[in-house]
Amino acid sequence: MPEHAAHAPDAGLILSARGLVKSYGKGRAVDGVDLDIPERAFTTLLGPSGCGKTTILRMIAGFETPDAGSLVLDGRPLKGVPPERRPVNTVFQSYALFPHLTVFENVAFSLTLRRGAGDPSPRVKRALDAVHMGDFGARYPHQLSGGQQQRVAVARAIVAEPHMLLLDEPLSALDRKMRGHLQIELKDLQRRLGIAFVYVTHDQDEAFALSDIVVVMNKGRIVQKADPLTLYARPASAFVADFIGAASLVPGKIVAMRRTAMSATATLDTPLGIVEAPVAEGLESGAAAMLVIRPEHLQVSTAPSALRAQVQHVVFRGDRFLIEAESHGCLLRVMSDTALDPGTAIGLDLDRARAFITQVEG
């Protein structure tokens, strides 16, 4: 699907971060991050909890001061600029709606702070309509469901037309179905508003569903920044491959490299045998590397050439079964139409052309 590429930014950058560092106590939450956020795109910071993604968002919003490094928004350095004077707004994980104000007053909050801004009603109404909450202006936040509260939080954050919207795991408190609905609405809203969204999540499904660009973080650093398709097919490291999708990771050693102008492939010696596959940047012959195999690139097979494996676990996934099988000391994940009993000996066919060789560390 070239759709993601089509939405990739053709415009300039709205935000650049250089050398961001933030420590809490002994730990470094953010450890030297360079990040460019393009205008009009949906950028997601993805990573496990504690990887520093929320800290970056909070530094952009102005709630945290970087220990080192710079942030430039719209060509203006953000150093020393308090949150109220930054042209960004935040949608909080906990919604953070004002409990003593009605929905209308919550959304009008930023507008009523500015003297001489005129009647906020039309803009509040437009913002509430944009999130399908036009009829709820007179209610109080506690009278709304979680999903409705989150819609109001979004309306409140967009009503003053920020240059950039920051969203901190806004859907994580909602049930799966509501999350799916709101994902579609958020994506739709971002396209209509045409402003940059910076979204923080630990949920890779959510990142894929929403993003033009996904920035994968681990231990305070950026591990990879790419569109979702690239991220899935060509993870820059074993960490990315493992964090995104149910990959099988097989360690090995590169015995040969072949580079052309368009691509690079490597020959990897693994416990499963010799595999030739596309290779990530920065790897050389002789280096230890990791073979990434997606479940859909393995098939249960009876061919004599198939890898011999033994079923360990079977997980029902609704449409199919995820089989975890052991082969030559490696754990392989494969989808199957039928349930297989643990202990069963099976053959596995690997689509070598679609496997990928990546960095062990990162």
Partner 1 sequence: MPFSRVHLAFPVALALVLGCVLPLGLLLVFSVFTVDMDAFDMVPDLSGHSWGQILSDPVFAFLIGKAVVSGLVTAGLAAIVGYPLALAMARLPLVWKGVANIVLLTPLYTGEIVRIYAWRIVLGSEGLVNAVLKGLGLIDAPLKFLLFSPFTTHLVLLYNNLPFMVLAIWISVELVDTRLIEAARDLGARPVEAFTKVILPLTTPGLAVGLFAVFALAAGDMLTPSLLGGTSGATPMAMIDNLFGTAFDWPLASALALALLAVLFGCATLMAGLLLRLRGARAVFEGRRT
Nearer to partner 1, 149 or 248 (CB): 149
The CA-atom distances, in angstroms, between 335 and each of 118, 174, 206, 345, 349 are 60, 29, 22, 15, 12
Nearer to partner 1, 106 or 267 (CB): 106
User: Is 288 in a helix, a strand, or coil?
Assistant: strand
The CA-atom distances, in angstroms, between 192 and each of 39, 41, 130, 167, 300 are 14, 11, 10, 17, 45
Nearer to partner 1, 61 or 196 (CB): 61
Nearer to partner 1, 148 or 336 (CB): 148
Instruction: Kindly state the smallest distance separating residue 61's Cβ from partner 1, in Å.
Output: 6
Check if the beta carbon of residue 183 is closer than 8 Å to that of residue 154.
no
Instruction: Kindly state the smallest distance separating residue 110's Cβ from partner 1, in Å.
Output: 4
C-beta atoms surrounding 348 within 10 Å: 21
Instruction: Kindly state the smallest distance separating residue 95's Cβ from partner 1, in Å.
Output: 5
Nearer to partner 1, 97 or 236 (CB): 97
d(CA 250, CA 271): 8
Check if the beta carbon of residue 313 is closer than 8 Å to that of residue 343.
no
Nearer to partner 1, 42 or 95 (CB): 95
d(CA 362, CA 357): 14
d(CA 193, CA 80): 28
Q: Which two tokens stand for residue 256?
A: 């040969």
Instruction: Kindly state the smallest distance separating residue 149's Cβ from partner 1, in Å.
Output: 6
Q: Which residues bind partner 1 (CB under 8 A)?
A: 61-63, 82-85, 88-90, 92, 94-101, 109-110, 113-114, 140-142, 149, 156-157, 160
Nearer to partner 1, 24 or 98 (CB): 98
- Strands 164-168 and 88-91 turn out to be parallel
d(CA 146, CA 114): 29
Nearer to partner 1, 5 or 113 (CB): 113
Instruction: Kindly state the smallest distance separating residue 22's Cβ from partner 1, in Å.
Output: 16
Report the candidate in 48, 66, 49 with the shortest Cα–Cα distance to residue 58.
66
Instruction: Kindly state the smallest distance separating residue 131's Cβ from partner 1, in Å.
Output: 16
Instruction: Kindly state the smallest distance separating residue 100's Cβ from partner 1, in Å.
Output: 4
Instruction: Kindly state the smallest distance separating residue 155's Cβ from partner 1, in Å.
Output: 12
Q: What is the chain's alpha carbon radius of gyration, rounded to the nearest angstrom?
A: 24
